[in-house]
Chains A and B, each alone.
Chain A
Amino acid sequence: MLRLTKYELRKNIMGTVILFGIIIGLEIYFVISALLENRDHTAMATAFLVIAACVSYFCLFFFGVSSYSKELRSKTGYLTFMTPISSFSVIGSKLLSIFITGVFFVILLSVLACIDMAMFENVFPETQLFTDFLDGLFNMAGYSPEEFWLTVLVNVAIILISFYAVIALAYMSITLSSTIFQNKKYKGVISVIIFILLTLLVSKISEFLPDIYENVTRMGEAMLQIVPQLIYWLAITIGALFLSGKFLDKKVSL
């Protein structure tokens, strides 16, 4: 699987480089604007960087899903599927490559955010007041900034795991359209409908997950509160990938 991941990363390198180039370009725009203390351009560059961070999330989803879809619909799939490896390894390598690319962008954007924060405060000194206000609010509520950031980190983890679950559901929908629905005329449309319905269904079910605490007053409790969510999304991811692998093994048709 690791060897195949290397080829997966290489296949998607162009998209990754373009995304990286855009972020670096915007960062240069931000740094120059901040050094010149131009408030309008600094604000604009900041807005663009935030948008780029959000877009990169969707780009990763697109890279992952299109790579798998292409594998089952184009001739390059021959190369992958005639290789003596299991279908689980094929799917696993794609997820791993998305994970590695994702981690790269999370680190890149986090480092840039840390660097840019100080420069931003220098251009917009009034934001320091807002930061102080937040600190005061945490102190009054008995939270430390460390605990706050820990909670943010845990919630980011949930977002990432649910992101993987959605990718896994997309993989399962694509797999179904290429295996058990391979003889249906509108298999592409069927695949999209299955994906939308499955995503809505699992999101709806997640709303009914039990709360461990009725009222969360401590950070530790807040962290425990998300355990059912973590288990749920992990189960969805593993289940969808398992079914995709099984369908590929039994019904693959390239």
Chain B
Amino acid sequence: MLKCEHLVKKYINTTAIADISTEIEPGKIYALLGPNGSGKTTFMKIVAGLIKPTEGKITFEDQPIGIYSKAHIAYMPTESYFYSYMTCKDAGNYYRDFFADFDENKYYYLLKEMDLEPNQKISKMSSGMVAKAKLAITLARDSRIIMLDEPLNGIDIIAREKVINTVVNNATREKSIIMSSHLVDELEKIIDYAIFIRKGVVVTQGDAESLREERGMSIVDMYKEIYAND
């Protein structure tokens, strides 16, 4: 579904991504793992079409990233990205106007689930509430790929389980979910595939169960081992 071959992204003095090659298939939950600055967000932004790679090739259903891929890939950035005047309802109207796969009823259901009011102004919300609003609007799209960048950031421990359950409930055989998080233990139980990134390079990737069997340790322990000296 999504193919990345030797992606590179360079900035003035840094190389955000040095070499990422991977393939995203439908029906799986992917974990993009790595410490801060490892290139997880840059990779997601490239897939979302917000950044162009310096080198390498990326295609979604054999087409380059562009209008078609944007119509089928949902991306939830770490930051609040809504216009300053927007309430949850305004944001929903925007998504309804531009994304054919947006389900308005599901959005209002998810807002209710997250204890958010449609008329709440997003710029006045706490970081935790914004995180929930972003999650609700992203998951309300029936996209082929859903990318969640640090979906548990700012979410308290009680609400985390609800968020995790919402994500799992949205996983179907037709769509893929890609999540990045520092909270690896929270992801361990739900992921099908893990991609470990260090300094912009994929150091290890594979089916979560196979990785556990091969290495004889959990994904959390693998994370600790890989990034111990970073």
Q: Which residues of A contact B (CB under 8 A)?
A: 3-4, 7, 10-11, 13, 75-79, 81-86, 182-185, 249-254
CB distance from B1 to the nearest CB of A (A): 17
A7 touches B94 (CB 8 A): yes
Q: A10-B85, A250-B52 are in contact. List 12 more A-B contacts (CB 8 A).
A: A11-B85, A75-B77, A76-B84, A79-B81, A79-B94, A81-B49, A82-B48, A84-B71, A183-B11, A185-B12, A252-B50, A254-B50
The chain A residue with its CB closest to the CB of B71 is A84
CB distance from B28 to the nearest CB of A (A): 22
CB distance from A39 to the nearest CB of B (A): 44
Q: How far is the CA of A81 from the CA of B77 in the complex (A)?
A: 12
Chain B residues with CB under 8 Å of A185's CB are 12
In-complex Cβ contact of A84 among B80, B84, B98 (8 A)? B98
Given contacts A3-B97, A84-B68, A84-B99, contact A79 B52 (CB under 8 A): no
Q: Is B223's CB within 8 Å of the partner chain A?
A: no
Chain B residues with CB under 8 Å of A78's CB are 48, 50, 75, 77, 79, 81
In-complex Cβ contact of A251 among B52, B70, B71, B98 (8 A)? B52
Q: Is B67's CB within 8 Å of the partner chain A?
A: yes
Given contacts A10-B85, A75-B79, contact A85 B98 (CB under 8 A): yes
A82 touches B49 (CB 8 A): yes
Chain A residues with CB under 8 Å of B98's CB are 3-4, 83-85
Chain B residues with CB under 8 Å of A75's CB are 77, 79-81
Q: Is B212's CB within 8 Å of the partner chain A?
A: no
Q: How far is the CA of A13 from the CA of B83 in the complex (A)?
A: 12
The chain B residue with its CB closest to the CB of A7 is B94
B83 touches A11 (CB 8 A): yes
CB distance from B126 to the nearest CB of A (A): 17
Q: Which of B19-73 contact A (CB under 8 A)?
A: 45, 48-52, 66-68, 70-71
Chain B residues with CB under 8 Å of A85's CB are 67, 98
Q: Which residues of B contact A (CB under 8 A)?
A: 10-12, 45, 48-52, 66-68, 70-71, 75, 77, 79-85, 94, 97-99
Q: How far is the CA of A77 from the CA of B79 in the complex (A)?
A: 11
Chain A residues with CB under 8 Å of B97's CB are 3
The chain B residue with its CB closest to the CB of A252 is B52
Given contacts A84-B67, A84-B98, A254-B50, contact A183 B12 (CB under 8 A): yes
Q: How far is the CA of A254 from the CA of B52 in the complex (A)?
A: 9
Chain A residues with CB under 8 Å of B49's CB are 81-82, 252
Q: How far is the CA of A85 from the CA of B52 in the complex (A)?
A: 16
In-complex Cβ contact of A253 among B51, B75, B82 (8 A)? B51
Q: How far is the CA of A11 from the CA of B85 in the complex (A)?
A: 7
The chain A residue with its CB closest to the CB of B73 is A82
Residue among B12, B52, B70 with max Cβ neighbours from chain A (10 Å) = B52
B70 touches A83 (CB 8 A): yes
The chain B residue with its CB closest to the CB of A4 is B98
CB distance from A4 to the nearest CB of B (A): 8
Q: Please, could you name 10 A-B residue pairs with CB atoms under 8 Å apart, sorted by A? A: A4-B98, A7-B83, A7-B94, A76-B84, A77-B81, A81-B49, A82-B49, A84-B71, A251-B52, A252-B50
In-complex Cβ contact of B67 among A10, A77, A79, A86 (8 A)? A86
Chain B residues with CB under 8 Å of A11's CB are 83, 85
The chain A residue with its CB closest to the CB of B10 is A183
Q: How far is the CA of A254 from the CA of B11 in the complex (A)?
A: 12
B80 touches A82 (CB 8 A): no
Given contacts A82-B75, A84-B67, A86-B67, contact A76 B82 (CB under 8 A): yes
Chain A residues with CB under 8 Å of B66's CB are 249
A82 touches B70 (CB 8 A): yes
Q: How far is the CA of A25 from the CA of B160 in the complex (A)?
A: 52
B83 touches A79 (CB 8 A): yes
B51 touches A252 (CB 8 A): yes
Given contacts A3-B97, A183-B12, A254-B51, contact A79 B68 (CB under 8 A): no
The chain A residue with its CB closest to the CB of B75 is A82
Chain B residues with CB under 8 Å of A183's CB are 10-12
The chain A residue with its CB closest to the CB of B100 is A84
Residue among B48, B49, B71 with max Cβ neighbours from chain A (10 Å) = B49
